[in-house]
Structure 1
């Protein structure tokens, strides 16, 4: 199996690859000396694993991480190296701690596209903190898609005002939506209502939505506008 994987990864014509096992991360795997891979999707990954991948795949531009674990015990070992080859990153189905995601994104300064999906702590709904991170560490970012779920309605609603600054509305033109599902007692902070359809998010009852840009249309079959 390892030989087959190595042979596949070594193909000069290989540009896109999906890995559904953890063979890339075992110590006995011998990475190819040269790879032209540009697009990689993986099912499970830790921060250490991701750094290993980026260290060996120097032409990799796009990554999709379906299950990503930011918690590692030797995190400090990976803070000094950055990976400028990566320009697009999607991270799905994880719990987002702002401290950890902030630390991780320092490693990928060339991102043009970033998509995050999952549950979140209170700090990740802080628009001012995101603005600082993007201005100082993600200077090339022009497409930011996210969907953060939380049960702390008060904190999310209070922080939603921080996404109404000139940075979000005028400079980046990124409308932010705050959607509350009453029966689930769950609030969703997302960058566009379209992400709800893509995520197949199932509302179980009436919902209320507020948005930072009032002239952006919202699909009435998904939400009821506040």
Structure 2
């Protein structure tokens, strides 16, 4: 392919390339290369300018190189929290805002109302298309909304704004806004937005606090709103149904649930009924739900196959083609249910790096097969020869064991399973050995310091009769007697792979039994015993 030089491109193509560069690169790196590029940058008229305000800012020098009329996007960031007088002085000295006649997008962060008022009063009203304001004092938020309403905005972002206590906010009637993003609002504000802004197509809120007063909504307040996103939803199902009843024409819905709200797991049957009844036109639905369960919680934790089962109905799989994944991070006691692929505004800060990349039991609504996965949401991590080590002294329950056993059944990555010191008894052992019948990679199991009796030993013996991969089992410090030891010894006549069987610190005087069993084998099995 022939090499193409930037100098050979027409100005229109160069300008399109500049659209993907920051202003510093264009002015400091490109502009000074040669006369041709100097002239091209001089005619470029779509600069995106980011300014950090401080007393030492000297942006007036910048406007010797570019015209204020060539700036289409401006970010004013007071992240150093300079005093209002200093910020106003910097603005009036360095920024001829009245000359920003082509400004389409304005982002203001960390400025007080007095500063915002000066900025917005200086910008030509006809130009601004998108306005974003963050970190504003609570008592001035209604005034800021009134100022923003003077512009013919297409998009207004009022981020990090807690509006639940601002009952005096009056959303402008017939504001020609198409996209609105705000923080947490209350139900009356939500309904007011739906009713008073008829052109609104997209609404993004952090949460909606419904409260005790539930007005009756006979018909949808907005038949124009097509997209709703709630980034930290604390609404229960009844409250969700109320919110959805106001916007029946939704085609896109995105929900990130607050993990403190649904401690029993997300009920797919109830969610299906609400969506069918209230949002018949919905075709794009994404959600993310995660919660941590306490080690000593009295709440019954469902296994992930039970949690995913309601999402395998014809409504989810055949009618809507919405595919759901449920995973269980055993090490940190977290369960998540989410639509796949994950393309939502979930806050990664809610989870530790360990949780984002930890091994987990995962099941998909597509195939209902449980498997071990190690994956961040952005990339799959493929590894072999791994060790699964469940945290010590975490009291397992039946559902946790079910998830772990189901994942092991189809796993081909783990060589070692460490479940020591986890209160595992005979029932859990039975679940494991039933699942492991299909596993062909695991070669070492540590079940030491648990509560396994002769019954559990019998389950293991049945498993060992047909297993050809396992080479080591640690059953030390359990409650196995001579009866269980004899059962294990007899099964070794059928097993040719086991090399190590650790039964120290059990209630058994079985050394002679094991020695007799070993003489019947050609392979030597190393056996530990407390008897000497």
- TM tier relative to shorter chain: 0.7 to 0.9
Paired residues for 1:1-226 under 5 Å: 2=142, 5-12=145-152, 14-20=153-159, 21=161, 26=166, 28-70=168-210, 72-75=211-214, 77-82=215-220, 83-118=222-257, 119=259, 120-121=261-262, 125-150=266-291, 151=293, 153-154=301-302, 157-195=305-343, 199-200=347-348, 201-202=351-352, 203-204=354-355, 205-214=358-367, 221-222=375-376, 226=407
Aligned-residue RMSD, C-alpha: 3.1
Q: Secondary structure at the match of 1:153?
A: coil
Query: Could you say if the C-alpha distance between residues 121 and 197 of structure 1 is closer, same or farther in structure 2, counting changes exceeding 3 Å?
Result: closer
In structure 2, runs of 5+ residues without a counterpart are: 1-112, 114-141, 294-299, 383-406, 408-532
Q: 1:69–1:94: 8 Å Cα contact kept in structure 2?
A: no
In terms of Rg, which structure is larger?
Answer: 2
Q: What is the alpha-carbon distance in structure 1 between the residues aligned to residue 347 and residue 233 of structure 2?
A: 14
In structure 1, runs of 5+ residues without a counterpart are: none
1:193 is displaced (CA, Å) by: 4.7
Query: Could you say if the C-alpha distance between residues 196 and 131 of structure 1 is closer, same or farther in structure 2, counting changes exceeding 3 Å?
Result: closer
Per-residue deviation, residues 196-223 of structure 1 (Å, max 9, x unmatched): 89543444342111101149xx985327
* Aligned counterpart, 2:15: none
Query: Could you say if the C-alpha distance between residues 107 and 160 of structure 1 is closer, same or farther in structure 2, counting changes exceeding 3 Å?
Result: same
Per-residue deviation, residues 42-76 of structure 1 (Å, max 9, x unmatched): 01211121112222111111111123323x1211x
Which piece of structure 1 moves more, 177-186 or 27-36?
A: 27-36
Q: Secondary structure at the match of 2:326?
A: strand
Point out the structure with the larger strand share.
1
Q: What is the alpha-carbon distance in structure 1 between the residues aligned to residue 373 and residue 249 of structure 2?
A: 33
Q: 1:122–1:155: 8 Å Cα contact kept in structure 2?
A: no
Query: Could you say if the C-alpha distance between residues 165 and 36 of structure 1 is closer, same or farther in structure 2, counting changes exceeding 3 Å?
Result: same
Q: 1:209–1:224: 8 Å Cα contact kept in structure 2?
A: no
Q: 2:374–2:381: 8 Å Cα contact kept in structure 1?
A: yes
- After TM superposition, the score normalised by the length of structure 2 is 0.37
Q: What is the alpha-carbon distance in structure 2 between the residues aligned to residue 196 and residue 179 of structure 1?
A: 17
Q: 1:91–1:115: 8 Å Cα contact kept in structure 2?
A: yes
1:89 is displaced (CA, Å) by: 0.6
For these two proteins, the number of residue pairs brought into alignment is: 221
Q: 1:109–1:138: 8 Å Cα contact kept in structure 2?
A: yes
Q: 1:97–1:124: 8 Å Cα contact kept in structure 2?
A: no
Q: Secondary structure at the match of 2:194?
A: helix
Q: What is the alpha-carbon distance in structure 2 between the residues aligned to residue 153 and residue 105 of structure 1?
A: 29
